[in-house]
Amino acid sequence: MCGIFAYQWNKQALPILQRGLERLEYRGYDSAWVCVMDAQGSTKLIKSVGKVSELESKISKQTKGKEEELNAFTRGIAHTRWATHGVASEVNTHPHHDAGNHFYVIHNGIIENHAKLKKQLREKWYTFYSQTDSEVVPALLAEHWTGDLLETVEKVLPLLHGAYALVIMTTHAPNEIVALKRWSPLILWTAPDGFYCSSDMQALAGYATQTVTLSDGELVYIKNNDYIIKAEWKIIKKDLEKLDIKAMDESRGEYETFMRKEIDEQPAIIRRAFMGRVNFDEKAIHADATKYLKDKEIQKVVFVGCGTSYNAGQMGALWMQNIAGIDASAKIASEYMHQRIPTDPKTLHVFLSQSWETADSIEVLKHIKDKGGLTFGIVNVVGSTIATMTDCGFFLRAGYEIGVASTKAFTAQMINILMLTLFLWKKWSLSYDRYTNILHAMKTVPSLMEQIIAQEDAIANVAKEMSRFNNMFFLGRKYEYVVADEGSLKLKELSYIHSESYPAGELKHGPLALIEESFPCVLIAPHDGLFEQNMSSMAEIQSRKWKVLVVSNRETEWADRMITIPSAHPAVMPFLTTMVVQLLSYHVAKELGRDIDKPRNLAKSVTVK
Ligand code: F6R
């Protein structure tokens, strides 16, 4: 999603901003822009719809032979845009400026009252050139200009509603920059050679040391080689923090895509998740987070997340109920606030997010915190909003996921949820023997996953056939229904093939009407207590001449195509079947020549509600 990068002081800004844009690329975007300014307020702006590499080739064409001249441009702002208001086009690309070309603004988030503000300005005098909500900010700065940048920004701020991060430059005061945040992340890095500002910790990781993470409502005003931070119109002191995160490993090694690399990393990530947390000899789960929960009375667990993280929550709810014996449910974060759910102190709210800034999930977390609820985070990024706001939690230890479609973060979320489930296990729910069976089954997951990877050629062959269809169903029951949901989501986002997921038992209640030969089904049906029921569903499908691909550890002569997987305890089987649907979607997308790491229209971190 949108990304911000800004620099001010005494180095040539253009290469710094280009590097910043490259670091923001993994988030997903559809256009990029860079604007640099010299000490007299002259600007250079270069925009591009498409990849940062396209912007870079534009930059090198436009600046060829002018390298000396560029040394004067020692401040600038850069942005990757993921379209929300207005199509991906040069005109809608940030930074936006006012009619007089004096104010330049980059913006993440949404100005919710932009329509009203635009109407008011249009009625007075103003003509807007873009369809964006963001353009209203430079227009308002021009309208309220007092001759002082900080004062003007403080006059305009109360007029803006919504969640946003902004960085503002003006030709009237080229040595000044204002950056501010309300709900959308922003970090300042005070380096010996200048001030850097980004919406993404990752864009600074590896070289930033002394950083300030702005809180909601805070603003940083940079002038020459100094800065102040203000909150509610008062200057405040904020300590510099050490940015303690590793730089993203940006190399794909021998892999064609990051996604394929990340699929292979999964067994190692699961092994890493156990370290220091699961004692297989003592058959127990120990961690700081579990020490914190030890004396809490937990009667209910609610998982909150979006997309793939929500799917992990659905799996968690089933495990909690079937293994731990605790009432549990999963909620889609963007729907939570519409449901008027009472916050009970005996409910543990588990927040799931592979990134650190999913706006929908953070909104629910803030709400639960305000109500005094007990919160647990299962997240990937140390120091992230969700990690710092929750009472306790587990880190995924999965390393950065660069492929936009989540794979390793999903299985890492699942293993962490399973560990939490076993920790919360109630003796009256499941016998000790059955508890230890699951604990031991969990230990076998990484090596079983490696066996799935070894079957990649067979999966790729089936994927080749799947890629000829325009529609697909994913079916399963209980845990495997959740895998069907995840498989359907992966196929959609990677291949752009329409697919739906259903509990296999629901077919006869409506979806069967869609049956025709061109609408095949993936039935995930391990040989467990539900196998016979799944075979009945298959019979319903086949008697209507539908094609069925069965994913199972038991051969069935009725399947049109079969992917045979190793046997495993039903509670951990989803780790294996998930890998199958990941590889299937990957190979379908590859067959269709899709941009696997950056599917169209999608972003890695979704910072808007
Ligand atoms: C799908 C995918 C998304 C994310 C969702 C939540 O492959 O990646 O559905 O799972 O946008 O993101 P996080 O986990 O960062 O909160």
Tokens 């009407």 sit on residue: 513
Q: Verify that 380 and 397 share a domain, yes or no.
A: yes
Q: Verify that 405 and 365 share a domain, yes or no.
A: yes
pLDDT at 608: 66
Show Cβ contacts of residue 435 under 8 Å, excluding neighbours closer than 6 positions. 283, 323, 422, 425
Q: Are 119 and 127 in contact (CB under 8 A)?
A: no
At 247, the pLDDT band (50, 70, 90 cuts) reads low
Task: Please work out whether the CB of residue 361 comes within 6 Å of at least one atom of ligand 1.
Answer: yes
Which residue among 454, 476, 496 closes a domain? 454
Q: Verify that 229 and 340 share a domain, yes or no.
A: no
* For ligand 1, mutation pick of 308, 356, 360, 608 (most atoms within 8 Å of CB): 308
Task: Please work out whether the CB of residue 353 comes within 6 Å of at least one atom of ligand 1.
Answer: yes
Task: Please work out whether the CB of residue 493 comes within 6 Å of at least one atom of ligand 1.
Answer: yes
Task: Please work out whether the CB of residue 307 comes within 6 Å of at least one atom of ligand 1.
Answer: yes
Q: Verify that 418 and 517 share a domain, yes or no.
A: no
Residue minimizing CA distance to atom 3 of ligand 1: 307
Full-model pTM: 0.80
Residue minimizing CA distance to atom 7 of ligand 1: 405
The pLDDT tens digits for 575-609 are 999 999 999 999 999 999 999 998 987 877 676 67
Q: Verify that 32 and 91 share a domain, yes or no.
A: yes
The distance from CA 221 to its chain's CA centroid, rounded to whole angstroms, is 30
Ligand 1 centroid distance, CA of 494 (Å): 13
Burial per residue of 249-271, b for 16 or more beta-carbon CB atoms within 10 angstroms, e otherwise: eeeeeeeebbbbbbbbbbbbbbe
Domain ranges, residue 588 = 455-609
Task: Please work out whether the CB of residue 306 comes within 6 Å of at least one atom of ligand 1.
Answer: yes
Ligand 1 centroid distance, CA of 191 (Å): 33
Q: Verify that 61 and 129 share a domain, yes or no.
A: yes
Q: Verify that 420 and 462 share a domain, yes or no.
A: no
The pLDDT tens digits for 185-196 are 888 988 888 899
Q: What is the CATH number of the domain that holds 63?
A: 3.60.20.10
DSSP letter string, 386-435: HHHHSSEEEE-------SSS-SHHHHHHHHHHHHHHHHH--TTTS-HHHH
pLDDT at 388: 84
For residues 417 and 52, give the distance between their C-alpha atoms in angstroms, rounded to a whole number: 37
- The pair of structure tokens assigned to 29 is 């975007």
pLDDT at 458: 96
Which residue among 193, 223, 248 closes a domain? 248
At 250, the pLDDT band (50, 70, 90 cuts) reads low
Task: Please work out whether the CB of residue 132 comes within 6 Å of at least one atom of ligand 1.
Answer: no
For residues 259 and 405, give the distance between their C-alpha atoms in angstroms, rounded to a whole number: 7
Residue minimizing CA distance to atom 10 of ligand 1: 308
Q: Are 226 and 42 in contact (CB under 8 A)?
A: no
Ligand 1 centroid distance, CA of 263 (Å): 16
Atom index in ligand 1 nearest the CA of residue 603 equals 11
At 88, the pLDDT band (50, 70, 90 cuts) reads low
Q: Verify that 193 and 281 share a domain, yes or no.
A: no
* For ligand 1, mutation pick of 606, 607, 609 (most atoms within 8 Å of CB): 606
pLDDT at 513: 86
Which residue among 199, 230, 248 closes a domain? 248
The pLDDT tens digits for 452-471 are 999 999 999 999 999 999 99
Ligand 1 centroid distance, CA of 77 (Å): 28
pLDDT at 204: 79
Q: Verify that 58 and 192 share a domain, yes or no.
A: yes
Residue minimizing CA distance to atom 8 of ligand 1: 406
Task: Please work out whether the CB of residue 354 comes within 6 Å of at least one atom of ligand 1.
Answer: yes
The distance from CA 146 to its chain's CA centroid, rounded to whole angstroms, is 40
Q: Verify that 55 and 199 share a domain, yes or no.
A: yes
Residues classed as catalytic: 2, 604
Q: What is the CATH number of the domain that holds 495?
A: 3.40.50.10490
φ, ψ for residue 155, nearest 5 deg: -75, -35
Task: Please work out whether the CB of residue 405 comes within 6 Å of at least one atom of ligand 1.
Answer: yes
Structural domains in the chain (count): 3
